[in-house]
Structure 1
Amino acid sequence: DLATIMDIGATTVRFAHYQQSDYLYSRCDSLGLIIWAEIPFVNRVSGQEAENTRSQLRELIRQSFNHPSIYVWGLHNEVYHPHEYTKELTKSLHDLAKTEDPDRYTVSVNGYGHMEHPVNLNADIQGMNRYFGWYEKKLQDIEPWVEGLEKNYPDQKLMLTEYGADANLLHQTEYLENSLNWTKPFYPETFQTKTHEYQWSVIAGHPYIVASYLWNTFDFATPLANRGDLPARNMKGLVTFDRKTKKDSYFWYKANWSEDPVLYLTQRRNVDREKKVTSITVYSNIGEPKVFLNGQELSGIHKGYTDVHYIIDNVTLKDGKNVVKAVVQSDGKTYEDTIEWMYTGEKKREADSFSIKGVHAGFE
């Protein structure tokens, strides 16, 4: 798992929402990852956990404070009612952390996105989980949200501590809007890709967000869940549960973050094409690619959201098999990536597949 995280070019990891083994912290020390260690005070509040949370935080700090990889102690994730109790408990956890280890930061996390929430602003750093386009609103609503916080809370340390969308690799489509109804059984990989392409570009353009943590590196088990046509699974990972397949969004981040050469054509699993006139997207951190369709070089390539994002619009497929190839010459080497698509006629999808109603982030 850590090799995968290093491969993508990540610099920091949020280990949520519970303590990890000493071995894992030690490996992060050697790799140079900067990590967030967190106690399991998450979601539900009973009003009876004060002694337990303080005990767990004290033990976590005393057991782990010599690990240089740890830069922040996580106090809680998405805890709310009763507000006064939870606020006071957060303050006491912050004070405890500062007593035990005064030189590290503390962080608490809210899922609603407004800074004035009564449980907020009781740790050094305020984290917020936002799933624009998935659990709430539209993908593009992330930018005015960040700009509002920049304007109204310019001195607050803010982290975007969860964002993303599920992706079932068996679900593919070219028909994408700016939100998706997560309560429906259709979780296309292409929507996850669109989410990360746009939202990372906003994060990268707003250094007010001092750190961001996409949710999640790997698909993971959620035993009581039954959604996205795959029971007991959360599919927000950039990599499948068995660690065998890296989704398109994985290569989006690797191209943006890693110094390793990346040349990657997206939608390689979206083989059965729905549109005769479509677009081709390439991620390349080694220069502008040449793109070929069925042996013919295409023109009109342009940049997308970041410098590694290349798009060719209005590409006309032929009936049957289509071969798409991207080529880059860099540092005396030739890099190539090839995928195959099939086109057998126009196909439509129901618009209802993509509608969403107002749902607060942090539902999970």
Structure 2
Amino acid sequence: MNSYMRRGNYCVAVLCALLAGLPATAQQQVRLNEAWEFLKGDLGGVWEAVRPVGKGNPESVPLWDSVTLPHCFNATDAVDPDVNYYQGPGWYRTQLNIQNPYKNGRTLLHFEGSGQKTEVYVYTTLVATHIGGYDEWQADITEAVAAFEANPVYRKLFKGKVPVSIRADNSRDLQLIPSNLSDFNVYGGIYRYLNLVYAPAVSVSHTRVNTQVAADGKTATVAAQAFLYNPQKQSAVAVTMVLKNPHGAVVQQSAVTLLPGDSTQAVTFTVKKPQLWSTDEPVLYTLETSVTADGQTATLTEKTGIRSFGFAKKGPFFLNGKRLLLRGTHRHEDHAGVAAAMTESMMREEMILMKEMGVNFIRLGHYQQSRIILNLCDSLGILVWEEIPWCRGGLGGDVYKAQARRMLTNMITQHFNHPSVIIWGLGNENDWPGDFPEFDKEQIRAFMKELNTLSHQLDTSRRTAIRRCDFCKDIVDVYAPSIWAGWYRGNYTEYKQVSEEEFNKVDHFLHAEWGGDSHAGRHSENPDKALQLIKTGGGADERAGDASLFGGAARISKDGDWSESYICNLMDWHLKEQEAMPWLTGTAQWVFKDFSTPVRPDNPVPYMNQKGLVERDFTKKEAYYVFQSYWSITPMAHIYGHSWPTRWGNAGELKMIKVYANCEKAELFVNGKSYGQRQRNSADFPAAGLRWNVPLQEGENWVQVVAYSGKTKVEDSLRFQYQTGTWAKPDNMHLHKIAEREGVATLEVTLKDASGKICLDAANWVRFSLAGEGKLIDNQGTSSGSGLVQVYNGRAVIKVQTNGGKSTLAVTSKGLPTAFIQF
């Protein structure tokens, strides 16, 4: 879409995303979002889901809840600080009005993803099962619906509708991937879209599109293969394939008739002067595949792109023959209030936030993700590493291996046509034992070789990769070692040296996962202080126990302050170094958004991995703007500290004001006085030279920056308090309401010493509780949406849905008197 990022055209970005979010045309299809009921737990049998007992009848047990799809039954318990998240079965039920318009047509339920084991029933008949929570699959309910509708008693009983029940189960199972030791939740539910599809007797199952650009770039070939869904073995099937260019004009088309028993059709189109897909110009071609049998036609429309790429041996990455530094991040399918059940609009907002930050590459961790995400990557220009969830724990038996093979096959088959995909990931942290009594490196190597071979058999055009399993790094095409300079090991100033050492050990290197945790809203006047404790020269990898907040060698992950201030310095250093590493293929920061995990109960927001650049609800942290200042082309400027209401220090002390901007120069004003212009220089750490040491006045300060990029001027400003003097330890807590809007009240607790001064370095745990007509908005996995949370700079925020009534909020903290407020 014509390099909208260079022009700053947000509307075009949104249009790209809107178009990308649409699923491929599949005959007649409708999302089954409404009119569902859900039961958390198991039934004695499917009969309990469909027996004709009305609501309100005392025999209607157990009780069902009304829900909409997508739905995850771990929407809130995944971040509940007081319970383990639920792993077990859950049931969904609805009644469908089936009206297939096709003679002898097929009626299908198309699942875009459900976790982790799924059973589908029509009335009491089991029609399909599926194992695996992340790939797409379908249940053909045609015969079961026909059998149900043939019974007049059933038709009368259910008033012409067809009862459908679905059992989803995310119970712990060591013979299935992913491992429960993985640093993410193994969610349960129908947490991606479920579609009702009507298709003729013969339809298109899927297509396979492989593109190749000639060496001179003047021509390209598009090899397309159609796979038919023809369960009744209809004969005399006409197949037409039409390739259209990005402007909608027909490039070429092909039409053939298949003989009985044939299921596929392959054609090769030649494209002259191809328009190449790139991260700046993500232009897409369209392939329309139609099949006609017995006078009925079904059409599948898909997007694809033409591009070439390669990893130079001991060198950088190339896209369409030009060096491209991969500027990447990671994504988990997880969001505040819904867990894995993200809607299409949420996904679209997330990916646009990434693109506006300047991302051109993403590793999808650690499983096949929604087709919507891949479509968005295609249309926005974001290259993709996608992988299967063989993540930690070791290697299981035959059932375990069969599932891994099946998930790899499904991922490659289902996402083959996306031009954004360049890497198939085979595993993550496979050197991490724990699920089985035996941990055999040679067996893991043997299975990794098998998966590598299978991947190349299924797709000769992409590369394979793994992250952090040194004893398998020679097997795959691209290797990503563990480098966490300044977080789990060492100082962030060691990053370049350690990276070059790892780069020299393999033919193709890509640095996936770097960064660190930050507690949103926590800031520091001396963020690098803990680096004095850190031993350098011993490597920068993550080792057993490094993620723990207790024991072991000194490390920033345990001994640092988890402030946004420190993380901004760490990321600023990494980004300025990456700009000066000409051999570097690229990196992917871990992770774009905070996400829930069962293995981090003691983090400042319990059960949250807080390494995101945005919070779990898309609230931007300060580090987002650090990346934007290096990666984005659209002019921007951001003064550090928008979530830092009170700074501290001595009277007359010079304090650093940092501005993250991608403009050539910037001028800073403090309380109306100019402190001069500075030129941006990415090698000048921190903030690329856009920093000023200025005096602040007691009380309120107003800071403004005016930045220039050519003739374009951008501005930013903020106000904050400056507190001088020292404070003692916390003595009491004060609750007050700071805002109320549309029935939601925002309340803040501050920790003060005996003299009434806010304890700006306090990091105590506080717990909120509510009595009355309101509802506490907690279990969101955010710094302002958690009932139990560590305070940030002596304060913490919580929201309450008032429901138009009166409530009393209480906050407790060990060793301090409980505070109350009525509102």
Q: TM-score range by the shorter chain?
A: 0.7 to 0.9
Residue 35 of structure 1: how far off its partner (Å): 0.8
Q: Residue 655 of structure 2 corresponds to which residue in structure 1? A: 278
Question: In the alignment, is residue 86 of structure 1 matched against residue 463 of structure 2?
Answer: no
Q: Which SS does the other structure have where 2:612 is aligned?
A: coil
Q: Do the aligned partners of 1:87 and 1:120 also contact (CA within 8 Å) in 2?
A: no
Q: Residue 288 of structure 1 corresponds to which residue in structure 2? A: 665
Q: Do the aligned partners of 1:185 and 1:229 also contact (CA within 8 Å) in 2?
A: no
Q: Do the aligned partners of 1:143 and 1:202 also contact (CA within 8 Å) in 2?
A: yes
Residue 301 of structure 1: how far off its partner (Å): 3.8
Q: Which SS does the other structure have where 1:50 is aligned?
A: helix
Q: Comparing 276-285 with 221-230, which one deviates more in the overlay?
A: 221-230
Q: For the structure 1 residues 208 and 84, does the alpha-carbon distance in structure 2 shift closer, same or farther, using more than 3 Å as the test?
A: farther
Q: For the structure 1 residues 156 and 346, does the alpha-carbon distance in structure 2 shift closer, same or farther, using more than 3 Å as the test?
A: farther
Residue 27 of structure 1: how far off its partner (Å): 2.4
Task: From 264, 275, 291, give the equivalent of 2:638.
Answer: 264
Distance in 2 (alpha carbons) for counterparts of 1:148 and 1:46 = 29
Give the CA RMSD over aligned residues: 2.6
Q: For the structure 1 residues 96 and 65, does the alpha-carbon distance in structure 2 shift closer, same or farther, using more than 3 Å as the test?
A: same
Q: For 1:1-364, list aligned pairs within 5 A.
A: 1-48=350-397, 49-80=400-431, 81-110=439-468, 117-150=470-503, 152-153=504-505, 156-177=507-528, 178=531, 181-183=556-558, 186-243=561-618, 245-275=619-649, 276-299=653-676, 301=678, 303=680, 305-306=682-683, 309-330=688-709, 332-346=711-725
Residue 67 of structure 1: how far off its partner (Å): 1.5
Residue 184 of structure 1: how far off its partner (Å): 5.6
Q: Do the aligned partners of 2:515 and 2:571 also contact (CA within 8 Å) in 1?
A: yes
Distance in 2 (alpha carbons) for counterparts of 1:302 and 1:332 = 15
Q: Residue 356 of structure 1 corresponds to which residue in structure 2? A: none
Q: For the structure 1 residues 312 and 100, does the alpha-carbon distance in structure 2 shift closer, same or farther, using more than 3 Å as the test?
A: closer
Q: Do the aligned partners of 2:487 and 2:556 also contact (CA within 8 Å) in 1?
A: yes
Residue 331 of structure 1: how far off its partner (Å): 5.0
Distance in 2 (alpha carbons) for counterparts of 1:278 and 1:193 = 17
Counterpart AA for 2:602? R
Q: Comparing 133-142 with 180-189, which one deviates more in the overlay?
A: 180-189
Distance in 1 (alpha carbons) for counterparts of 2:485 and 2:519 = 19
Q: Residue 358 of structure 1 corresponds to which residue in structure 2? A: none
Distance in 2 (alpha carbons) for counterparts of 1:220 and 1:4 = 16
TM-score, normalization by structure 2: 0.40
Deviation digits for residues 19-38 of structure 1, max 9, x if unmatched? Answer: 01223212222222211110
Distance in 1 (alpha carbons) for counterparts of 2:449 and 2:561 = 42
Q: For the structure 1 residues 61 and 187, does the alpha-carbon distance in structure 2 shift closer, same or farther, using more than 3 Å as the test?
A: same
Greater RCO structure (CA 8 Å; 6+ sep): 1
Distance in 1 (alpha carbons) for counterparts of 2:712 and 2:582 = 35
Q: For the structure 1 residues 182 and 62, does the alpha-carbon distance in structure 2 shift closer, same or farther, using more than 3 Å as the test?
A: same
Counterpart AA for 1:274? W
Whichever structure has more helix as a proportion of its residues is 1
Q: Do the aligned partners of 1:288 and 1:310 also contact (CA within 8 Å) in 2?
A: no
Residue 329 of structure 1: how far off its partner (Å): 4.1
Q: Comparing 102-111 with 25-34, which one deviates more in the overlay?
A: 25-34
Q: Comparing 50-59 with 11-20, which one deviates more in the overlay?
A: 50-59
Counterpart AA for 1:61? I
Provide structure 2 residue ranges, at least 5 long, that are not aligned to the other structure.
1-349, 432-438, 535-554, 728-758, 764-823
Distance in 2 (alpha carbons) for counterparts of 1:12 and 1:212 = 9
Whichever structure has more strand as a proportion of its residues is 2
Q: For the structure 1 residues 172 and 131, does the alpha-carbon distance in structure 2 shift closer, same or farther, using more than 3 Å as the test?
A: same
Counterpart AA for 2:610? M
Counterpart AA for 1:266? Y
Distance in 2 (alpha carbons) for counterparts of 1:34 and 1:139 = 27
Structure showing greater radius of gyration is 2
Q: Do the aligned partners of 1:165 and 1:191 also contact (CA within 8 Å) in 2?
A: no
Residue 259 of structure 1: how far off its partner (Å): 1.5
Distance in 1 (alpha carbons) for counterparts of 2:386 and 2:357 = 21
Q: Do the aligned partners of 1:106 and 1:123 also contact (CA within 8 Å) in 2?
A: yes
Q: For the structure 1 residues 140 and 122, does the alpha-carbon distance in structure 2 shift closer, same or farther, using more than 3 Å as the test?
A: same
Distance in 1 (alpha carbons) for counterparts of 2:657 and 2:598 = 37
Q: Comparing 224-233 with 175-184, which one deviates more in the overlay?
A: 175-184
Counterpart AA for 2:585? V
Distance in 1 (alpha carbons) for counterparts of 2:637 and 2:579 = 21
Q: Do the aligned partners of 2:377 and 2:383 also contact (CA within 8 Å) in 1?
A: yes
Counterpart AA for 2:371? D
Counterpart AA for 1:217? F
Q: How many residues align?
A: 344
Residue 51 of structure 1: how far off its partner (Å): 2.6
Q: Do the aligned partners of 1:173 and 1:274 also contact (CA within 8 Å) in 2?
A: no
Q: Comparing 7-16 with 274-283, which one deviates more in the overlay?
A: 274-283
Residue 315 of structure 1: how far off its partner (Å): 1.8
Counterpart AA for 2:658? T
Distance in 2 (alpha carbons) for counterparts of 1:216 and 1:347 = 36
Distance in 2 (alpha carbons) for counterparts of 1:123 and 1:237 = 28
Distance in 1 (alpha carbons) for counterparts of 2:719 and 2:654 = 16
Residue 311 of structure 1: how far off its partner (Å): 3.2
